[in-house]
């Protein structure tokens, strides 16, 4: 029994990581209706940047975020202003194609530079630290930290979107791009800021991913799928819903893995498909 | 060019793809003047306003504002220089509350007399409804919010596109009464109106557009009904 509770707890906490994968993707889709197919690969890119920063400068991977976050944010702004803004318009196909191309490019560039060997970010024992809870359940410090960071990131995003002028601008552009220009908003710049914000969250997700599991250049697309699943299960447009979606996905995966280690990914997909069938709008859809 | 005009257009042309909607519009408005633009559907009235505010491309020298060539500038720059527009159909942001809609109008942080409290003074109903979503307002209230939102940018020149469309006469009267307070405070106003009578009542000068060209221009007192009908319908 305590074994089962431990598994479920692991799944819930894993949901925090999936929410971190998803939050940036959701933000970009919300603000500019852009589906970023390269999102997963950008997560892996951040993990590699953290690998270089922590290896080269001897920083703890979490401390390396002081380098990774600004670097990825700048990359996001530049990418949006130079390439992605040109793909936005009435047709939804160009951004899909261009970000798909970016995904292929990133995977191959990382393969070229770092080879296909699996890597891991060494966090000085943080990976294995445990706290013993009553009833014989043990819980990892790292998963707890990931979950708390996910809650903090989502709270921060909510505050930004609903309590600041910048958030108001993001929401108005999301509603009506032409009317937003009449407010004096430079949409191209605002989209750049949204992408910078998205890739800042991606950096945090990438570093946690790299501490938690092995990574290599090919695993980005699977992270993208997890992010999509968390968003759809939670209901499009609601960030707390995305966290719940991540938790449902995480629990499904850890329970699946408990039945048979090979079922981990499959169990997540099955639960996702079941929800898509019976509640296609997700649990907390934000209808406007 | 004469420096006394706040806005001038010289041979302004506008296109939607290959389709030409405006053919050489020569227009001017002096500071503190109120000008109405009338014309039937498709005459190019909205296109003219969109060109001024930068939503449609124009040649640099086609539009002068405050003595500077502004044609071809992006909308956000033109708004920053002091032109704001109340778009046709109001276009409030549905996911923002009434107050947030007003606040987003002040995004460019231009200094001036218009603040939240000044807007609430001329449209008190907006204060009562400030926390409801913009979509929960009646048509007239939405129009007030849209005007308030444009004023929050503290424009020197305010463009109003079809603000009386679909509203009850009593509401139209109320809105135009408040617009008079706005112009009295030193804001120059261009209104696009399908309601000719309304246009004649508020404007110092009137332009009538037909098929993308100016068909008639003058002071309401100088224009006869026959002249207007002829210009309007092209008889």
**Testing the interface with A: which of B75, B99, B109, B133 to mutate, by most A Cβ within 10 A?**
B75
Three-state SS for chain A is CHHHHHHHHHHHHHHHHHHHHHHHHHHHHHHHCCCCCCHHHHHHHHHHHHHHHHHHHCCCCCCCHHHHHHHHHHHHHHHHHHHHHHHCCCCCHHHHHHHHHHHHHHHHHHHHHHCCCCECCCCCCHHHCEEECHHHCEEEHHHHHHHHHHHHHHHHHHHHHHHCHHHHHHHHHHHCHHHHHHCCCCHHHHHHHHHHHHHHHHHHHHHHHHHHCCECCCCHHHHHHHHHHHHHHHCCCCHHHHHHHHHHHHHHHHHHHHHCHHHHHHHHHHHHHHHHHHCCCCCCCCCC
Residue-range definition of the domain harbouring residue B34:
7-233
Q: How far is CA B98 from CA A33, A163, B134, B173, in A?
A: 24, 15, 5, 22
Nearest in space to A44 (alpha carbons), one of A192, A205, A227, A198:
A205
Q: Where are the domains of chain A?
A: 2-214
The answer to whether the complex's ipTM is over 0.90 is: yes
> Rounded to an integer, what distance in angstroms lies between the CA atom of residue A16 and that of residue B108?
37
B82 and A CB contact within 8 Å? no
Amino acid A284: pLDDT: 81
Contact B94 A288 (CB under 8 A): yes
> Rounded to an integer, what distance in angstroms lies between the CA atom of residue B36 and that of residue B57?
23
Amino acid A283: pLDDT: 85
How far B34 CA lies from chain A's nearest CA (Å)?
21
Tell me what the mean pLDDT of segment B55-72 comes to.
Answer: 94
User: With 50 as the cut, is the pLDDT of residue B2 above it?
Assistant: no
User: With 90 as the cut, is the pLDDT of residue A134 above it?
Assistant: no
Contact B105 A178 (CB under 8 A): no
Asked if residues A81 and A192 have their Cβ atoms less than 8 Å apart, the reply is: yes
Query: Confidence class of residue A185 from pLDDT cuts 50, 70 and 90?
Result: very high
In chain A, residues with a C-beta closer than 8 Å to the C-beta of B91 are 176, 178-179, 182
The answer to the question of residue B44 being in a domain is yes
> Rounded to an integer, what distance in angstroms lies between the CA atom of residue A193 and that of residue B6?
35
* Residue B28 belongs to domain with CATH number: 3.40.50.300
User: Which of A97-106, A232-241, B176-185 is predicted most confidently?
Assistant: A97-106
Does the pTM exceed 0.95?
no
B19-29/B188-192 β-pairing: unpaired
User: With 90 as the cut, is the pLDDT of residue A214 above it?
Assistant: yes
In chain A, residues with a C-beta closer than 8 Å to the C-beta of B80 are 184
In chain B, residues with a C-beta closer than 8 Å to the C-beta of A183 are 79, 104-105, 107-108, 149, 153
Tokens of B108: 């460019």
The answer to the question of residue B2 being in a domain is no
Number of structural domains in chain B: 1
Query: Confidence class of residue B1 from pLDDT cuts 50, 70 and 90?
Result: very low
Q: How far is CA A285 from CA A134, A167, B191, in A?
A: 36, 20, 40
Residue A160: CB partners within 8 Å, gap ≥ 6?
A166, A167, A197
Tell me what the mean pLDDT of segment A102-125 comes to.
Answer: 96
Strands of chain B, DSSP E: 7-16, 19-29, 34-38, 63-65, 68-69, 83-86, 157-161, 188-192, 205-210, 213-218
Asked if residues B188 and B156 have their Cβ atoms less than 8 Å apart, the reply is: yes
Tokens of A279: 């509640």
User: Within 10 A of A8 (CB to CB), how many other CB atoms are there?
Assistant: 17
Tell me what the mean pLDDT of segment B85-105 comes to.
Answer: 96
Asked if residues A172 and B96 have their Cβ atoms less than 8 Å apart, the reply is: yes
Percent of chain A with pLDDT over 90: 85
Amino acid A35: pLDDT: 94
Burial group, residue B114, by CB count within 10 angstroms (0-12, 13-18, 19+): buried
Percent of chain B with pLDDT over 90: 92
Burial group, residue A103, by CB count within 10 angstroms (0-12, 13-18, 19+): buried
Q: Could you read off the pLDDT of A7-46 as tens digits, one per residue? A: 999 999 999 999 999 999 999 999 999 999 999 999 999 9
Amino acid A288: pLDDT: 42
CA geometry: angle at A251 spanning A247 and A256, to 5°?
Answer: 150
Mean pLDDT of chain A: 94
Q: How far is CA B79 from CA A98, A136, A182, A194, in A?
A: 32, 64, 7, 22
Q: Could you read off the pLDDT of A75-106 as tens digits, one per residue? A: 999 999 999 999 999 898 999 999 999 999 99
Amino acid B214: pLDDT: 95
Query: Confidence class of residue B203 from pLDDT cuts 50, 70 and 90?
Result: very high
Contact A182 B84 (CB under 8 A): yes
């Amino acid at each position: 029994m305590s074994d089962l509770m431990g598994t479920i707890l692991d799944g819930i906490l894993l949901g925090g990581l999936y929410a971190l994968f998803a939050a940036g993707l959701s933000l970009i889709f919300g603000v500019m209706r852009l589906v970023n197919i390269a999102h997963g690969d950008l997560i892996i890119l951040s993990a590699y940047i953290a690998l270089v920063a922590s290896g080269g400068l001897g920083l703890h991977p979490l401390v390396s975020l002081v380098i990774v976050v600004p670097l990825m944010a700048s990359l996001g702004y530049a990418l949006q202003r130079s390439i992605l803004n040109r793909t936005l318009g009435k047709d939804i196909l160009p951004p899909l194609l261009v970000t798909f191309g970016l995904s292929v490019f990133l995977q191959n560039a990382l393969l070229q530079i770092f080879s296909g060997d699996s890597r891991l970010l060494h966090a000085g024992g943080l990976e294995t630290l445990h706290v013993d809870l009553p009833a014989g359940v043990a819980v990892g410090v790292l998963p707890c930290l990931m979950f708390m960071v996910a809650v903090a990131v989502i709270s921060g995003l909510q505050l930004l979107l609903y309590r600041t002028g910048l958030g108001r601008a993001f929401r108005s552009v999301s509603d009506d791009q032409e009317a937003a220009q009449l407010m004096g908003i430079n949409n191209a710049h605002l989209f750049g800021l949204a992408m910078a914000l998205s890739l800042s969250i991606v950096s945090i997700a990438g570093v946690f991913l790299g501490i938690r599991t092995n990574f290599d250049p090919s695993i980005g697309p699977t992270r993208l799928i997890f992010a999509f699943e968390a968003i759809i299960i939670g209901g499009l447009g609601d960030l707390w819903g995305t966290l719940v979606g991540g938790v449902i996905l995480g629990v499904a995966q850890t329970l699946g893995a408990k039945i048979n280690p090979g079922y981990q990914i499959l169990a997540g997909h099955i639960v996702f498909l079941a929800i898509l069938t019976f509640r296609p709008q997700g649990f907390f859809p934000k209808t406007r | 060019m004469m420096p006394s005009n706040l806005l001038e257009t010289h041979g302004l042309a506008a296109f939607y793809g290959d389709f030409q909607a405006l053919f050489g519009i020569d227009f001017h408005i002096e500071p503190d003047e109120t000008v109405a633009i009338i014309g039937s559907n498709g005459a190019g009235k909205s296109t003219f306003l969109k060109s001024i505010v930068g939503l449609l491309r124009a040649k640099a020298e086609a539009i002068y504002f405050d003595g500077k060539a502004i044609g071809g500038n992006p909308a956000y720059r033109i708004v920053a220089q002091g032109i704001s527009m109340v778009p046709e159909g109001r276009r409030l942001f549905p996911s923002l509350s009434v107050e947030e809609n007003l606040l987003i109008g002040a995004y460019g942080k231009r200094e001036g007399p218009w603040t939240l409290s000044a807007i609430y003074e001329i449209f008190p109903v907006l204060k009562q409804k400030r926390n409801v979503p913009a979509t929960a307002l009646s048509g007239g209230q939405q129009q007030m919010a849209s005007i308030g939102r444009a004023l929050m940018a503290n424009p020197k020149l305010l463009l109003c596109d079809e603000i009386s469309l679909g509203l009850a006469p009593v509401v139209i009267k109320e809105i135009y009464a408040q617009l008079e307070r706005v112009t009295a405070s030193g804001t120059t106003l261009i209104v696009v109106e399908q309601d000719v009578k309304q246009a004649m009542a508020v404007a110092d000068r009137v332009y009538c557009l037909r098929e993308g060209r100016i068909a008639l221009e003058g002071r309401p007192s100088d224009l006869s009904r026959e002249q207007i009908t002829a210009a309007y319908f092209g008889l």
